[in-house]
Amino acid sequence: MVDMKSIIAKNITALRQSHKMTQIELAEKLNYSDKAVSKWERGESIPDVIVLKTIADLFGVSLDYLLEEDHEPAPSAAKPESEPEPSHHVRNRAVVTLLSLLIVWFLAALIFAVLDTFWPDLHGGWLAFIYAVPVSMIIWLVFNSLWFNTRRNYLIISLLMWTSLASLFVNAAAMGYPFWRFLFLGIPGQLAIYAWSRFKLRPNK
C-alpha cells in the first residue's frame, strides 16, 4: 500500500532543499508555523489540498509532482522564489530608504528654521524634530513592507505607536498640559500588536 504521507513528505523536503530554503522560510511563505512544516516533512501529517497547491506553485511544479513517488527531478532552470536579491539591488533599496528618511529630517529642519526666523515668538519650531520621529517610522514601515523582511513590521509598528504617543506627550507638555497618562495607551496597544503578530501564524496541523 502506498504511503502517501511519506511520498509527500519526501517531495516537500526535496523541493525545499533544492531551493536552499529553510523550514522557517517555507513556513513564512505559506503563513504556517515551522513546526507544521516539520510535521509534514516527517510524514506525521499532510497539508490540505489548498496548501499542497500553494507549495506546488511556489516551487514551479504540478500538484501531481507532490503526489508521485517516481518522477523526474524538479526543473531548476527557473529562478527559485527564495533566491536572494542581487546585492546591488538590496544596497540601492537601502539607499533609497535612507534618502527618504533624510528628506523627512531635512523638512523638519526647514520648518524649524522658517518658524524660528520669521515667527520666533511661537517657540514651537523644535517640535518639528519631535514629530519627525514617528513620520520616519511610517517611511520605514512603508519601504520595509515593499522591499525587506515584513516580519520586522511588528517592531516598526511598535516603535511608531510609542514615538507617536511620546510626540503627543512632549507637544502637550510644551503647551502646559501634562498628558503623561496618554502614555498608558501604549500598554494595550503593544499587547494588541503582539496578539496580531501571533495571529498571523496558523496553528500546527
Q: Within 10 A of 74 (CB to CB), how many other CB atoms are there?
A: 16
pTM summary value: 0.53
- Closest by CA position to 14, among listed 6, 78, 104, 172: 6
Confidence of residue 108 (pLDDT cuts 50, 70, 90): very high
Confidence of residue 137 (pLDDT cuts 50, 70, 90): very high
Q: What one-character DSSP code corresponds to residue 202?
A: P
- Closest by CA position to 159, among listed 174, 139, 181: 139
The mean pLDDT value of the chain amounts to: 82
Residue 13's contacts (CB-CB under 8 Å, 6 or more residues apart) are 41
Say if CB 2 and CB 40 are below 8 A apart.
Answer: no
Question: What pLDDT score was predicted for residue 64?
Answer: 85
Say if CB 129 and CB 166 are below 8 A apart.
Answer: no
- pLDDT tens digits, 44-71: 888 888 888 899 888 888 888 888 877 6
Cβ neighbourhood burial of 184 (10 Å; 0-12, 13-18, 19+): exposed
Say if CB 15 and CB 4 are below 8 A apart.
Answer: no
For the segment 127-148, the average pLDDT, to the nearest whole number, is: 90
Question: What pLDDT score was predicted for residue 107?
Answer: 94
Residue 103 has pLDDT above 90, yes or no: yes
Question: What pLDDT score was predicted for residue 72?
Answer: 61
- What residue type is assigned to position 112 of the chain? F
- pLDDT tens digits, 151-196: 788 899 999 999 998 888 888 887 777 777 777 888 888 888 888 7
Residue 102 has pLDDT above 60, yes or no: yes
Question: What pLDDT score was predicted for residue 109?
Answer: 93
CA distance 84 to 94: 15
- What residue type is assigned to position 181 of the chain? R
Return phi, psi of residue 191, to 5°.
Answer: -65, -40
Give the 3-state secondary structure of residue 56.
helix
Question: What pLDDT score was predicted for residue 179?
Answer: 73
